[in-house]
Amino acid sequence: MTVKTGRPIDGVSMDEARGLQGRLTKPAGSLGRLEDLGIQLAGIYRACPPPVPRDPLIVIAAGDHGVIAEGVTPWPQEVTAQMVGNFLAGGAAINVLAKEVGARVVVVDCGVHAQFEASPMLHVVKRALVTGDIYVEPAMPESVALELIEEGMSFALQQAARGVDLLLTGDMGIANTTPSAALIAAATGVSAHAVTGRGTGVDDHTLAKKTAVVAHVVDSFQGDRASASQLLARMGGFEHAFLAGLIVGAAEASVPVILDGVISVAAALMASLIDSTVQQYLIAGHRSVEPGASVGLTHLGLAPLVDLGLRLGEGTGAALSVPMVRAAARILAEMATFDSAGVSTAKD
């Protein structure tokens, strides 16, 4: 897969936003990271002031994982499908938080070991029911990784055309913190030990097994300058491939993406291997407890907006940041300037 260089975010709008931040009725820099976020949004939307996002969409990419056979999680595989049912019925944590912040939720079946009834909330791109057990075999053929990346890209472009102006990445897939750790280790060169965490909360024995699986998978991978599709095919999940494509498509459509936890961060690293400009379109929603998330965010040059000790996934940490993203845009759109409000500026 060839690496492309997409369109960078707009420097002119960012300069305008920087200038405007300095004229608003507050000491320069006093709104801290909210100011940087506003400038980034101006660059992404190519407008100053940037629009306040009106239609945020949380995309929960779901898939099952053959590596569950290695005992890397205590949860049975059927929980993935059962949780998809819970999302569609509105009963999961992400449904509650989405309602709280005024975002919509869509579930994408990227490869769950079940069939679901059609629903307006469900989009199906499934090519297989479960990935291969990455401890002993590739996760998927590279052709499938490429197809799912394409699906993610076209989904983002379609949603943007329908008016979605903020995309949030979410995930569901029992055992998926294991392939996430492997992708992060392979993409950053950081050790399996440093990126592997307790996922849903596994005990010391399971953590040791999980770390050994990640180390083996990464060590056995041949290829120094691997492409995203090669890495995904060897050690990824269907949801990682779809989310990587979604992020690339969002950047192409000038739509910001709020990342959730470790699964989203692994997908973002893959997206950055496909298009080296995608980082500019990314907002780190939160710092997941899972150590690989922090390693990946540092590699991407992103600092998380909130740090609440979350380790759930589904898009929960991303959802919580929506009010902050809206606030950052609204400050630029609605605050008075020293001039317009007749407020004196500081003496030099």
Residue 83 interacts with ligand RBZ (CB under 6 A): yes or no: yes
Closest CA to 121 of 54, 62, 53: 62
DSSP 25: S
* From candidates 35, 70, 252, 260, binder to ligand NIO by CB under 6 A: 260
**By rule CB under 6 A, what string of x and - marks binding of each residue 298-317 to ligand NIO?**
-------------xxx----
Residue 177 interacts with ligand NIO (CB under 6 A): yes or no: yes
**Mind telling me the catalytic residues?**
314
| Residue number with CB closer to ligand RBZ (176 or 211) | 176
Residue 211 interacts with ligand NIO (CB under 6 A): yes or no: no
Contact at 8 Å (CB) between 305 and 335?
Answer: no
Please confirm whether the linkage preceding 27 is cis (ω < 30° from 0). no
Give the bridge partners for 124, in sequence order. Answer: 109
State which amino acid sits at residue 256.
P
| Max intra-chain CA distance, the chain | 70
Instruction: Choose among ligand RBZ, ligand NIO, none what residue 290 binds, the Cβ cut-off being 5 to 8 Å by kind.
Output: ligand NIO
Tallying the residues shown for the chain, one arrives at 348
| Residue number with CB closer to ligand RBZ (79 or 335) | 79
* From candidates 37, 48, 293, 297, binder to ligand NIO by CB under 6 A: 293
Q: How far, in Å, CA of 323 to CA of 101, rounded?
A: 7
Closest approach, Cβ 262 to ligand NIO, in A, equals: 4
| Residue number with CB closer to ligand NIO (160 or 259) | 259
Q: Which contiguous run of DSSP H or E holds residue 184?
A: helix 177-188
* From candidates 63, 237, 261, 304, binder to ligand NIO by CB under 6 A: 261
Instruction: Choose among ligand RBZ, ligand NIO, none what residue 261 binds, the Cβ cut-off being 5 to 8 Å by kind.
Output: ligand NIO
Closest CA to 272 of 321, 329, 303, 228: 228
Give the bridge partners for 24, in sequence order. Answer: 337
What residues make contact with ligand RBZ under the rule CB under 6 A?
73, 75, 79, 83, 171-178, 199-200, 312-314
